[in-house]
A and B are shown apart, each in its own frame.
Chain A
Amino acid sequence: MNRNVKRTVLICCGPGCLSNQGMDVYEEFKTKILISGLDVDLRSAVETENACVTDTLHPGIKTDLETMVSPAVKATGCQGLCEMGPLVRIEPDSIFYTKVKVSDVTEIIEKTLMENRVVERLLYKDPVQGRKVRAREEAEFYKSQLKVALRNVGEIDPESLDDYIERDGYRALKIVLSQKTSEDVLSEIEKSGLRGRGGAGFPTGRKWRQCARTGNYPKYVICNGDEGDPGAFMDRSIMEGDPHSVIEGMIIGAYAVGSHEGFMYIRDEYFLAIQNMTKALEQARREGFLGKNILGSGFDFDIQIVRGGGAFVCGESTALMASIEGKVGEPRAKYIRSVEKGLWGKPTVLNNVETWANVPVIINKGADWFCSIGTERSKGTKVFSLVGKVRNTGLIEVPMGVTLRRIIFDIGGGIAGGRKFKAVQTGGPSGGCIPESLLDLKVDFDTLDEAGSMMGSGGMIVMDDRTCMVDVARYYLNFLSEESCGKCVPCREGIRRMLEILNDICEGRGRQGDIELLAELGETVREASLCGLGKTAPNPVLTTIKYFKDEYLAHIEDKTCPAGVCKNLTTYYIDKTLCKSCGLCKKNCPSEAIEEKLEGYFINLLKCIKCGSCMNACRFGAVKILAGIMRKL
C-alpha cells in the first residue's frame, strides 16, 4: 500500500447500526488505534528516522513500515445494508465488514490495518451469489444502486463540513451565486424534470417558478422532514448522514424563488437528525453559506429548525404550515396553492428532504445528466427503505424505472427464510399492496399510481406467504385512524367504519356484503376527503380487495385465515403424510402444545396459542392450516 494514501475506517452509525452498538464499535476503534500507536502520524517519524518513536510502538507496526500512516476513523451516516450492521469499511482498500462487534475491533486493527490481511469471517456473504465478497461494490445489494441523493450518506462524517466540501459540497451554491440568475436556476431545475420526492411527485421546477412569479413578499421555503410512515427512514438517513446537502439545496431554492427565510420541519423523534442539522446550520453560518450577504453575493438567507410533535398528518404540506404557525396541525383545501398563499398567507415553496438533497447535484452535473437517468416522466433516482421479509433490509437508491423484482430479489436478496413472496407494500400507510403478478412493474410515479398504490416518500415493505392481507389492511387503517387529523367527515368517520369492518372480518365476524361496503366507503373517503391523507387512506384496503379478494372471502365465508395470522380463524394441524417426525416443531413450540405419539406428532388444540412457530420451523411443510371448516360444517 502507498504510504502517502491515508486510510479511513468508516463505521456506520446510521439508525440500524446504532441500535446494534455501532457507536461502541466506533469508540472502540478510536481508543484501540490510539493505544496501538497507529494514531501517531508515522510519515514524519519514518522520514526523520526517529528510532525513539518507532521503538515505543506496537510491535506489529515495525514489521511493515509501508502501512504506517495514521488511519482516520469516522462515524458515518447510514451505509445502507442495515440487516448486516454494524458495518465497517476500510478505504481505499475496499474492505467491507459486516456485523462487527466491539470484540472484533482488535482483530481488525491487527490483521487489516497493520498486516494488510482480510478478516475472512467478517466479510459479507452475498445471498444472491452465495459467496463472500471483499469489496461492497461486488455485492448485489450495492451493484444495482445509483446514489444521487445519498451520494454522501455513509461516505462522510456528517458532523464535518470539510468532509462535505471535499466531495464538491457548496460548489453548486458558489456557481449559482456567482454565475447564475434565478431564471437560470429555475430553468435548469425545470429542465431536469425533478419531481417532488415527498409523495405526490409534483414537478419541482414548476412549483418554484409559480412561487418566483408572485410579487408578494416575504416568501418562504420549507423542508419537510416530518417522515412518519411506519418502516420508513429515507429522509432521516439524509438529515442524519448528510445535512449540508439539504441546506445547500434549500439555499439554491431560496435564491431561485427570491426567499430570505427558510424553515426545516423535523419530527421531534428524530433526535440525531435535529442534532446533526443544528450543527450543520451553525457551521454553514460560520462559513458564510447562510446569513447576510452569502459568499459576498448580496443574497441573504437563513434557516431555522422547527420541531414537529410527531403527528403523521403534519407531513401534509398545509398541516405542516399550520403547525409552524403554532396552530393545530390540520390541513386546508389546496384550491389556493401554497406557492401563492402558504405559510402565514405568504408564497411558500415546500419540498421534501430528498428533493432538496437532489438540487445541488443537478446544478453541479447539469440537468441533461439528471435527465439521462430514470424513465420518460420520472427522472433521476429514488431512495427507498427496503424492509419486511427480505434478506437484505436497508436503505437503497435506484434509478427510476428499475423493476420491483430487481429491487426485491437482487438488491433485497430475495425473501428471508426461503419463503414465498406474496406482496410488496409501497408508499407508506396510504400506499397499496402490489402482488406477484406485477413484480415486473417499472417503479416510477405513474406506474405505481396505475397499480393502485403510490410512490409516496419511498417506504417499501415486502411480505411473504405468512402475511395475512386482511390483517395488513387492518394494520394500516388502524394507524390512519389514529393519525387522521379528524377534521373532515369522510376521513375520520370513513376510516373508523372501514376499520370496524376489518376488525370484524379478522376476528371472525365478517358478514356477506362487507367487501362491497368496504369498497363503497373507500370510494367516498377517496373522493370526498379534504387532504392527501384521506384521499389515499383507502388504498391499502382497495388494493388488497383488488389483488387478494380470495383471502377476504376465506375470512368471511370460510372463517379461515389462509396465512395463519388471524388467531380466531386459525387452526393448525400436522399433515401425517408429510411429517418426517423430526421433532423440530415440538422443539420450537413455546406452549408445549405439540405431543409425540406413536403415530407421529400432534397439536393439542387446547394448549396451542396459534403463534405459528411450528409452521415456521417445519422444513417439510407438514404444519398446515385447517381450511374451510365452516363451509364443511
Chain B
Amino acid sequence: MVITIDGIKCQAHKGEYILDIAKRNNIHIPTLCHSDALPGQGNCRLCIVEVIEKGRKKVVTSCIFPVTGEIEVVTNSEKIRGIRKTLIRLLSARAPKNEYIDKLRQEYNIPPETRFKTDDNENCILCGLCVRACEEMGIYAISTVNRGITKKVSTPFDEASDVCIGCGVCAYVCPTSAIKVLDEGGKRHLWNKTFELMKCVKCGEYITTREHFEYIRKKIAAEGTEIIEPLCDKCKKKTLGENMAQTYK
C-alpha cells in the first residue's frame, strides 16, 4: 500500500501507524509522549496530523492512527500548526521553566506565558510514558492518580511502594526529565523509597539497585539462560571481550 505524507509517496503496511511511516521516511512530526519501545498513547496530541480520506479531512493522532487505506496525510497544514501552537502554549503554561518545553515554545515562536498563573517548579506534563514503561516492565509501581486538573503520577497513597525495584525506567523515558533519580553514597532515592545500590564485583562501581538486579536475575533464570553476575557495563564488555579472545586463541 502507498500513502502520501506531505506530498511524498510512502510504502505502508495495513495497520501501521502514520507516525512510524513518517519516521521511516524522514518526515518530522513532533512528539512528547512517544517512545519507540512502547505502544503509542495519544496523550500529548502534538503529533496530530490531517488525514484526507475520500475527500474528507479530519484531524487524527498519528501515533495511534492505523493506516487501512490509501490516504493522504498533511503534517503541517495551517490548521495543524495552529492547534499545535495552542497545545505547546498550554504545555508551556504548565511547565514554564522546563528546558525541553521551553525549547519547543521558542521553536514555534510562542511568547512567554503572561496570561495564566504558572508554577515554575512544575516539570511533569503528565504524558504517561513513565507509567506505561513501569507497566511494561511488569512492575506496576506507579500510576496516574486522581482525575482532571488534579491528576498526577505517584505510587499508591504517595507512600514508598512495596513493588518498586528502583530500576529508574520511569526517569529514563521521561521526555521532560521531570523524574529525578538521586544516587548518593551507595543509596538511590526514588518515589519516596531508598534503595541500596549494588557494586560491580570486578571494579566496585555502583551498578543498580539490589531489587532491580534480583528482578533481572529471576527473569533470566525463568528463561533458562545462564545466570548473570553483577557487573557494570564496562566490566561486562571487558569480560565478553576476554572470553572471545580466549575462544579464538
Contacts and interface: CB of A to CB of B under 8 A. Distances in A.
Given A328-B143, A524-B87, A528-B87, A483 B148 contact: yes
A336 B150 CA distance: 30
Most buried by B among A328, A482, A497, A520: A497
A489 B43 contact: yes
B212 to A, nearest CB: 25
A517 B46 CA distance: 20
Nearest to A482: B148
A484 B150 CA distance: 10
A528 B66 CA distance: 17
B65 A520 contact: no
A482 B64 CA distance: 26
Contacts of B144: 328, 330, 486-487
Most buried by A among B87, B93, B143: B87
A517 B115 contact: yes
Contact of B147 (A485, A496, A500, A511): A485
Contact of B61 (A486, A500, A530): A530
B45 A488 contact: yes
A481 B83 CA distance: 20
Interface in B97-150: 115-117, 125-126, 128, 143-144, 146-150
Interface string A103-123: 000000000000000000000
A483 B61 CA distance: 23
B83 A487 contact: no
Contacts of A492: 126, 148-149, 151
Nearest to B144: A328
Contacts of A501: 115
B148 A484 contact: yes
A345 to B, nearest CB: 13
A486 B149 contact: yes
Given A521-B86, A528-B59, A488 B43 contact: yes
A78 B83 CA distance: 46
A485 B60 contact: no
Contact of B60 (A335, A483, A489): A335
Contact of B48 (A481, A486, A528): A528
A311 B147 contact: yes
A490 interface: yes
Task: Please classify the interface of chain A as helix (H, G, I), strand (E, B), loop, or mixed, using the class held by over half of its residues.
Answer: helix
B224 to A, nearest CB: 30
Contact of B44 (A489, A497, A520, A527): A489
Given A328-B143, A333-B64, A530-B42, A486 B59 contact: no
B91 interface: yes
A409 to B, nearest CB: 37
Contacts of A485: 147-148, 151
A511 B115 CA distance: 9
Interface in B160-213: none
Interface in B64-105: 64-66, 79, 82-83, 86-87, 90-91, 93-94
Contact of B149 (A333, A495, A523, A524): A495
Contact of A482 (B45, B93, B94, B149): B149
B29 to A, nearest CB: 14
Contacts of B126: 486, 489, 492
A230 to B, nearest CB: 15
A527 B83 contact: yes
Contact of A528 (B45, B93, B146, B147): B45
Contacts of A465: none
A377 to B, nearest CB: 19
Contacts of B93: 493, 497
A239 B19 CA distance: 44
A494 interface: yes
Interface string A518-560: 0011011001111000000000000000000000000000000
A565 interface: no
Nearest to A485: B147
Contact of B116 (A489, A497, A528): A497
Nearest to B113: A497
Contacts of A335: 60, 64-66
A491 to B, nearest CB: 9
Contact of A488 (B42, B94, B143): B42
A530 B45 contact: yes
A493 B113 CA distance: 14
Most buried by A among B42, B90, B125, B148: B148
Interface in A447-503: 480-490, 492-497, 500-501
A156 interface: no
Contacts of A343: none
Contacts of A17: none
Given A482-B148, A485-B147, A333 B117 contact: no
Contact of A489 (B65, B66, B125, B147): B125
A313 B151 CA distance: 14
Nearest to B93: A497
Nearest to B152: A486
A332 B65 CA distance: 12
Interface string A326-348: 00101011011000000000000
Contacts of B143: 328
B153 to A, nearest CB: 11
A170 B142 CA distance: 48
A502 to B, nearest CB: 13
A328 B93 CA distance: 27
Contacts of A484: 147-149
A495 B93 CA distance: 13
A530 B94 CA distance: 19
Given A481-B148, A494-B90, A528 B43 contact: no
B64 A487 contact: no
Given A335-B60, A482-B147, A487 B45 contact: no
Contacts of B64: 333, 335
Contact of B43 (A311, A481, A487, A521): A487
A328 B87 CA distance: 24
A500 B150 CA distance: 14
B83 A489 contact: no
A520 B86 contact: yes
Contacts of A336: 66
Given A486-B147, A487-B151, A527-B48, 6 more contacts: A328-B143, A335-B65, A482-B148, A488-B42, A494-B90, A528-B59
The 9 closest A-B pairs by CB, nearest first: A486-B151, A493-B90, A524-B86, A484-B148, A496-B149, A528-B45, A482-B148, A486-B148, A481-B149
Interface of A: 311, 313, 328, 330, 332-333, 335-336, 480-490, 492-497, 500-501, 511, 517, 520-521, 523-524, 527-530
Interface of B: 42-46, 48, 59-61, 64-66, 79, 82-83, 86-87, 90-91, 93-94, 115-117, 125-126, 128, 143-144, 146-151
24 contacts: A333-B61, A335-B65, A481-B148, A482-B149, A485-B148, A485-B151, A486-B144, A488-B43, A489-B91, A489-B125, A489-B126, A490-B45, A490-B87, A490-B90, A494-B90, A496-B149, A500-B116, A501-B115, A524-B87, A524-B90, A528-B59, A529-B45, A530-B42, A530-B43
